[in-house]
Structure 1
Amino acid sequence: MQNEIRQDIIVGSRRFSNYFWGTLLLLGGLSFLLAGISSYFGINLLPFSNPKELVFIPQGLVMMFYGTFSLGISLYILFTVLLDIGGGYNEYNKLENLVKIVRKGFPGKNREIFLTYPLANIRAIGIKITEGLNPTRSIYLCLKDERNIPLTPVQQPVAISDLEENAADLAKFLDLKLENL
């Protein structure tokens, strides 16, 4: 039974980089917003600087704009972390002859993304490696109807040797061939 089912956990938006950037943008946005408000009211709301001496138009107004924009982006990032968007698992079940791909999406009627594919409809396991300005290294489920379903999450590119090893292990487990896309 243990050798017939394999489950790979997929980390969604709950990764260190999102916590880091969400927190940094939140602190920076609050600082800029408070600096702009300080310049408008002429009071010092920041303990580490003296922004009340800024001229409100244009400097204080621009600081408030940047602060509001930064707060909006940070709240979006922290919201996606809270909901764990993109998190889930891939399950390869030889007993049921199914591959299940489960992911979390944004709130709504399609919050849970649940895809199932019979093993009989799977042609191969594919690897796609692109280098350049935006490098990608992904493992795909290649179906007989020429669709390629990504199995790896969006992340920093992993080492090519690790990607090939993971893909080869999966292909061996499912008794499929390995392709280069």
Structure 2
Amino acid sequence: SYLWCTILWNVGSGYDRFDRKEGIVCIFRWGFPGIKRRVFLRFLMRDIQSIRIQVKEGLYPRRILYMEIRGQGIIPLTRTDDKFFTPREIEQKAAELAYFLRVPIEVF
């Protein structure tokens, strides 16, 4: 089924690399098999406008961390294996990243 395929193919996993010396951010994620299996984004640190946190409580709570990039929109940073953050953990992660990048935090 769909769920087993996403687990088997490790869809959504990857890494984020922030190089302050070069001023470059690289985001890599694995997608579904095919031509565009590898998703690789690269942009300048100075183009990062903010770090955003989306919190939805309820039966299926979601806490997602995003990065807003000038000219590219909003990019999710929270991977599929990171979906069980507590509110405190997601706030801490957002604060550390915003401090490192010297950008504001927005909550929506």
CA–CA distance in structure 1, aligned partners of residues 36 and 88 of structure 2: 35
TM-score, normalised to structure 1, is 0.53
In structure 2, what is the equivalent of residue 159 of structure 1? Answer: 86
In structure 2, what is the equivalent of residue 134 of structure 1? Answer: 60
Where does structure 2 lack aligned partners over 5 or more consecutive residues? none
**One-letter code of the match for 1:122?**
I
Q: Is the 8 A contact 2:26 2:42 kept in 1?
A: yes
Where does structure 1 lack aligned partners over 5 or more consecutive residues? 1-72
CA distance 1:132–1:141, shift in 2 (3 Å): same
In structure 1, what is the equivalent of residue 98 of structure 2? Answer: 171
CA–CA distance in structure 1, aligned partners of residues 72 and 41 of structure 2: 16
CA–CA distance in structure 2, aligned partners of residues 171 and 177 of structure 1: 6
**One-letter code of the match for 2:17?**
E
CA–CA distance in structure 1, aligned partners of residues 51 and 83 of structure 2: 21
**One-letter code of the match for 1:92?**
F
In structure 1, what is the equivalent of residue 34 of structure 2? Answer: 108
**One-letter code of the match for 2:14?**
G
CA shift, 1:129, in A, is 0.7
- Deviation readout 1:62-116 (Å, 9 max, x if unpaired): xxxxxxxxxxx28x61x43332221110111112211111011122111110011
Percent identity for Structure 1 against Structure 2: 35
CA–CA distance in structure 2, aligned partners of residues 168 and 117 of structure 1: 21
Matches within 5 A, 1:1-181: 73=1, 77=4, 79-145=5-71, 147-154=73-80, 155-181=82-108
Residue aligned with 1:172, SS: helix
Higher strand share: 2
Q: CA RMSD in A?
A: 2.0
Equivalent pairs, count: 107
Higher relative contact order (CA 8 A, sep 6+): 2
Task: Give the number of the structure whose alpha-carbon radius of gyration is greater.
Answer: 1
